[in-house]
Structure 1
Amino acid sequence: MIRCSGLLGVCLRRSQPPPAARSVSIGVIGAAFDKGQTRCGASLGPAAIRDTGVLDEIRALGHSVRDLGDLSLPGVDSEYTAADDRAKMRNVTSVGRFNQQLSDRVSSALAKHDVVVTLGGDHSIAMGTVHGHGRTVRHDKLAVLWVDAHADINTPLTSGSGNFHGKPVSFLLRGMEAFHLDLPDLRWCRPVLLPSKLVYIGLRDVDPMERVAIQELGVRAYAMRELDRLGVDKVVEMALDQLGVGVGADSSLHVSFDIDALDPSEAPSTGTPVRGGLSLREGQMVMEEVCKWGTLRSMDLVEVNPQLGSSQQALYTADAARHLLLSTFGRYRGGNAPEGSQLPRPEILPDPRPNR
């Protein structure tokens, strides 16, 4: 008889699948919006992700999923001319109006569902999703895990491009108010997030003034250097612990996942790819850890742009988004057994031979 050594026994125990994720009610919103940057096509991201069949796959994991349709804002492309000539802003009216409506939609959906998932759209939509989530909880209870190659904490005075997909964090974060102009279309967006309740994972393309903002506000940020040194599982564990979203905690977790957090080899059809990013396996591990902690209330998955690259690259990128969502809601990469299921046994039939 072969006996397992102590180490092998531990390994065998660890190879067992984690406990099944609790069944939750999920509301899915499509944010069909791409005016936060200059490349058309991110507004088609929600449809591209849905077309992978992921919503049915999440249902098969035991969850209730309701598709709440798309939010769009056609025909608004006006610019806002700021009094300060240093400011750079593109499409502030469309960004402001769309995100105000998205904030209302998310806060309303959170009253009816355990978790709300918003499919983007460019990353400027996080102004609406995080703000909408923040309206439903006490100001010190909102926690945000921002998984991205970029910090997205520029202001109109520090942005080189003027694109709002590089600015949402600065409008959401308390302590940044003094660095913003008075923009009529964004007066609704009151900061809802404390710096201590924001953690970045995956940074590798951070502008100099964004680094200044991160340091001055004391925001915890794990760049790819830290992930390489410590490992993804350790970094995610530390990040979620720092956010105070463990089991039994009363913080309310929002994950904002930009598909460009993945390496371009994994997600080529996105607007601002940066080499040296997360593998799909590492991205899945991030969301598996989020699932394990069980405190997720809302999520956005953004910047899938099926108009960039070949049709095959677009499908590949949407499929990466599919894998991330499945990991978020309990798909175990070793296979999920249906609850209460058993292997079928053959029926015992009578012996056809006559008695002798």
Structure 2
Amino acid sequence: MSTTSFPTVALVGAPTDIGAGARGASMGPEALRVAGLQAALESHGLQVEDRGNLSGPANPWRPAVDGYRHLDEVVAWNRAVHDAVYAELTKGRLPILLGGDHCLAMGSISAVARHCRATGRKLRVLWLDAHADFNTSALTPSGNLHGMPVACLCGFGPEALVRLGGEGPALHPQQVRQIGIRSVDAGEKRFVHEQGLEVYDMRYIDEMGMRHTMEQALAGLDADTHLHVSFDVDFLDPDIAPGVGTTVPGGPTYREAQLCMEMIADTGRLASLDVMELNPALDVRNRTALLAVDLIESLFGKSTLMREHQVRKSTFQT
């Protein structure tokens, strides 16, 4: 797949850990820049424009109120993200949101859903994560909103977050494919099953392999589908990606992660991307950011294969 098929890429930084339970993800955007993200993408022939960082309220680091920590601040940050991502989409650009914690995906995906409604396109979301992020205030004792974005996007959350895109909810559970999941609370697990979320957890990947997993997750994509990837860096095994606030052992290996990204690239449908939860304060010499940049390159067509690259579009499309 040629990189000339991609529109201009717009980097949008959201330097906040407002929804997280640990400090440090606010430094994620700069760590990705220091790791050479823009130059790496440009080396593959892409046009890249760095929009700098969004601004929003400081993290007050307060306990939960009525089941949510920092709700007003989370809403403010997500409105800023929504507006920035939607503006890039309306200009025909491919936005990459540099997080920041994963609560910010509520803003980006609400913008993508709004754009799809306006253009009459279907939406598919790939959620690459160690966690299902399908908690609600009734299910989680912490109140950390970075554990709730998928639930909020599907309509289970505060009105201000459910309706970020002007209509709500942004997603139906059947539009989401979760990959790499291996840490889910008991109540959250029941709720995931009740709502019919399609989850490819690590046991599924262990049993079926990453290739089959991705074939299933990408099945049915066509030319009218906008593919959004929300990549939480804790998706990766902490042995290769220690720089995250919520490490969970047993994640995808380097090669499994590369295959995942390469097969997404093979579809030619990637149209927006989140890169979330990178925490340089917990990293070793920016190692996790460098790995994230490597994997993002693969999303845009870099291949580790020695053989001639073969596009497998027919595998995924109906």
| Cα-to-partner distance string for 1:110-138 (whole Å, 9 max, x where unaligned) | 12234211111111110111011111012
- Secondary structure of 1:235's counterpart equals helix
- Secondary structure of 1:137's counterpart equals helix
| Cα-to-partner distance string for 1:54-107 (whole Å, 9 max, x where unaligned) | 21121111111111111121436386976xxxx421111110111011101001
Structure-2 change in CA distance of 1:314 and 1:127 (3 Å): farther
- Secondary structure of 2:136's counterpart equals coil
190, 194, 214: which is aligned to 1:212? 190
How do residues 194-205 of structure 1 correspond to structure 2 at under 5 angstroms?
A: 194-205=172-183
- 1:11 is matched with none
Structure-2 change in CA distance of 1:240 and 1:186 (3 Å): closer
- 2:243 is matched with 269
- 1:342 is matched with none
Query: Letter of the aligned partner of 1:20 in structure 2?
Result: S
Does residue 1:119 correspond to 2:98, yes or no? yes
User: Which of the pair has more CA radius of gyration?
Assistant: 1
- 1:154 is matched with 135
Equivalent pairs, count: 303
Mapped partners of 1:162, 1:31: distance in 2? 21
Mapped partners of 2:151, 2:60: distance in 1? 22
Contact residue 57 and residue 77 of structure 2 kept, 8 A:
no
Question: What percent identity do the matched residue pairs reach?
Answer: 38
Mapped partners of 2:307, 2:111: distance in 1? 33
Per-residue deviation at 1:160? 2.2
Per-residue deviation at 1:268? 0.3
- Secondary structure of 1:135's counterpart equals helix
Structure 1 length-normalised TM: 0.80
Per-residue deviation at 1:224? 0.3
Does residue 1:286 correspond to 2:260, yes or no? yes
How do residues 74-153 of structure 1 correspond to structure 2 at under 5 angstroms?
A: 74-75=57-58, 77=60, 87-138=66-117, 141-153=122-134
Structure-2 change in CA distance of 1:299 and 1:185 (3 Å): closer
- 2:292 is matched with 321
Contact residue 56 and residue 80 of structure 2 kept, 8 A:
no
Contact residue 173 and residue 192 of structure 1 kept, 8 A:
yes
How do residues 251-266 of structure 1 correspond to structure 2 at under 5 angstroms?
A: 251-266=225-240
- Secondary structure of 1:155's counterpart equals coil
Runs of 4+ in 1 over 2 A off after TM superposition: 19-23, 74-82, 184-190, 334-337
RMSD between aligned alpha carbons? Answer: 2.2
Mapped partners of 2:109, 2:21: distance in 1? 23
Per-residue deviation at 1:39? 1.7
Contact residue 78 and residue 94 of structure 1 kept, 8 A:
no
2, 20, 39: which is aligned to 2:2? 20
- 1:346 is matched with none
Structure-2 change in CA distance of 1:336 and 1:314 (3 Å): farther
Per-residue deviation at 1:231? 0.8
Mapped partners of 2:92, 2:290: distance in 1? 25
Contact residue 16 and residue 59 of structure 2 kept, 8 A:
no
Contact residue 133 and residue 149 of structure 2 kept, 8 A:
yes
122, 137, 145: which is aligned to 1:164? 145
- 2:311 is matched with none
Structure 2 length-normalised TM: 0.89
Structure 2: state its 5+ residue gaps.
Answer: 309-318
Structure 1: state its 5+ residue gaps.
Answer: 1-18, 338-356
